[in-house]
Structure 1
Amino acid sequence: MSSEPKPLPFIYQFAAGAVAGVSEILVMYPLDVVKTRVQIQGRVAVAGRDHYTGMLDCFRKIIANEGASRLYRGIGAPILMEAPKRATKFAANDEWGKVYRNLFNAPKMTQGLSILTGATAGATEAFVVVPFELTPRKQQNTPASSTASPKIIRTEGPLTLYQGLESTIWRHVLWNAGYFGCIFQVRELLPLNPTKDKYIQMRNDLLSGAVGGTVGTILNTPMDVVKSRIQNSPVVAGGVRKYGWAVPSLGLVMREEGFGALYKGFLPKVLRLGPGGGILLVVFTGMMDFFRGMRGEA
């Protein structure tokens, strides 16, 4: 890359990441609603309920029969999670970038450093994400009244909020390494933008972020599947959980269900995180430019 903007203080990176995360959720959340509807319906239509032949059919029927606002039902909780999650992702990536550039005496970012900083930012992000995700995971499998966070802490102890941390670290390390590594590489391959044209910058960010989100999803979906299994793992004979550590769990899933089981739910996930990765980068870059202008550094 020909030039790199001066890094901003952590608080600006954090705020830009939070705005990017909320923006991505507002745009992409309806896809989650549709994905859930399609996934939970049976093969046979139920009397009195809409039956969907696919995602587009589901979109059409929800809007026609229930109103467009239905596509945003339950968005409050995801927003509360996405703001700190995405804020941590981008802020940690920039901060770790400074650390590694100083450590390796690198005048600017490289492909290798982009992958390394992304992976380290992913590990940092995992510590923020796990407590937010555990309660919803438990609520999907047991009555909600028995799985509120205070109840979980009282009955299972505070450390249970970090059940599945190891697999979550793997999941976020792989996604962020693929995401930020691809962003750097795609930007390098795209034509230069010497005039700093905002349209060209937005197009390049959308394309590189979407490619990064897609590659990150390809890399981390197996760990995402394993993470869900670990967080909801039943206790088997001997008082141990069926799924424990991440890598042995990968092997267990493959032996019992085949390699394809590691990519369950991949299509709706990549449809969300591919374009979503582009939206994240566009909004984050735009917010950072706004803050630079506000500080007179544009």
Structure 2
Amino acid sequence: MSSDKKPLPFIYQFASGAIAGVSEILVMYPLDVVKTRVQLQVGGGSAGSEAYTGMLDCFSKIIKNEGVGTLYRGISAPILMEAPKRATKFAANDEWGKFYRNLFGIEKMNQQLSILTGATAGATEAFVVVPFELVKIRVQDRASAHLYKGPLDCALKIIRNEGILSMYNGLEATLWRHIFWNAGYFGVIFKTRQLIPKSESSTQQTINDLIAGSIGGTAGTIVNTPFDVVKSRIQNTIKVEGVTPKYNWAFPSVFTVYREEGFGALYKGFMPKVLRLGPGGGILLVVFTACMDFFRTLQ
């Protein structure tokens, strides 16, 4: 993440990213369940027991009608996903950073390169996460959750009923989601670290990383939420042979949601998403940096 520190081999970057990812998901997962429920709801919602008027209403109705455990429904898929996902994010960001610095003959990272490497790392990460995201969304959705005994059963039924390639349903939308989020996240982290005072202690370093990561996570969330909304809808659509899905490709789906439900619908689930990925982005950066520093002491 920082060109001022001693670089470490890929395996240490991968391990640090994996530990950071699992730490973040254990703390923030209930917000992801709420975000997905709100995004999948077509229309404005109502006061009925089957609809949500917002984040807090969704939280309370899930707990009241389905139990607290539902807030962790489907977590095994994200847990299995988070290690390779976040590991790929940070390791790919560092490796692509080296590639672009060599390609352009630039000794140190700048904000433009941080945005470019973040976007490329996001595209790399997307290929890893799509099958896990697909299973997570199917299990989280109240309308389809009863069809599956768990994430593994969900994956097997998708493959049997829709074909193995359906596990990559929504890849294109996921690519855009991760490209925009990572470009915003790493680009803003780089700029924020330039603006805040340099740390004089490990405690101040942790605070600085928490601030930079939270701001970066918030920026990434602002720019990528419309693609996250349509990705959820695309992946929750069961493929039927001979039928063109309503939500199929990212940009046409964005226009469909905008035309039918208005601009605000493109930011459905934004509040739980930003509450998760703002502070969550801070947790990711803090844990990743701490792990990398620990591995440096072993070197």
TM-score class, shorter: 0.7 to 0.9
Q: Which position in structure 2 is the counterpart of 1:12? A: 12
Pairing 1:43–2:47 present: yes
Stretches of structure 1 that go unaligned for 5 or more consecutive residues are 47-51
Greater relative contact order structure (CA < 8 Å, 6+ sep): 2
Instruction: Report how many aligned residue pairs link the two structures.
Output: 284
Give 1:188 shift. Answer: 0.4
Match in the other structure for 2:236 = 232
| 1:279 paired residue among 277, 283, 297 | 283
In structure 1, what is the Cα distance between the partners aligned to 2:169 and 2:2? 44
* Residue 179 of structure 2 is aligned to residue 173 of structure 1: yes
- Residue 187 (structure 1) aligned to one of 189, 193, 196: 193
Name 2:116's counterpart in structure 1: 116
Deviation at 1:269, TM superposition (A): 0.6
Contact 2:38 2:58 in 1 (8 A): no
> Who is 1:221 aligned against?
225
| TM-score, length basis structure 2 | 0.83
Residues 136-157 of structure 1: CA deviation (Å, up to 9, x unaligned): 3234243115962122223322
Instruction: Pick from 153, 164, 169 the counterpart of residue 159 of structure 2.
Output: 153
Q: Measure how far apart 1:238 and its partner are.
A: 6.9
Matched, 1:105 2:109: no
Shift of 1:35: 6.4
Does residue 1:252 correspond to 2:256, yes or no? yes
2:213 corresponds in structure 1 to 209
Deviations 1:234-261 (A, max 9, x none): 6799731212221111111111111111
Asked if residue 270 in structure 1 is aligned to residue 268 in structure 2, the reply is no
**What is the distance in 2 between the residues matched to 1:218 and 1:269?**
10
> Which whole-Å CA distance do the structure 2 matches of 1:116 and 1:53 have between them?
35
1:241 alignment partner in structure 2: 245
5+ long unaligned stretches in structure 2: none
1:285 counterpart letter in structure 2: T
Alpha-carbon offset, residue 43 of structure 1: 2.9
Code of the aligned partner of 1:228: S
Question: Deviations 1:160-188 (Å, cap 9, x if unpaired)?
Answer: 11111000000000000000000000000
Call closer, same or farther: CA 1:73–1:123 in 2, change over 3 Å.
closer
Q: How does 1:58-69 map to 2 (within 5 A)?
A: none
Secondary structure at the residue paired with 2:172?
helix
Instruction: Give the alignment's Cα RMSD to 1 decimal.
Output: 3.3
Q: Residues 166 and 38 (structure 1 numbering): CA distance in 2 closer, same or farther, change over 3 Å?
A: closer
Contact 2:88 2:125 in 1 (8 A): yes
Give the conservation status (yes or no) of the 8 Å contact 1:167–1:246. Answer: yes
Q: Distance in 1 between matches of 2:159 and 2:70?
A: 33
Which has the higher Rg, Structure 1 or Structure 2?
A: 1
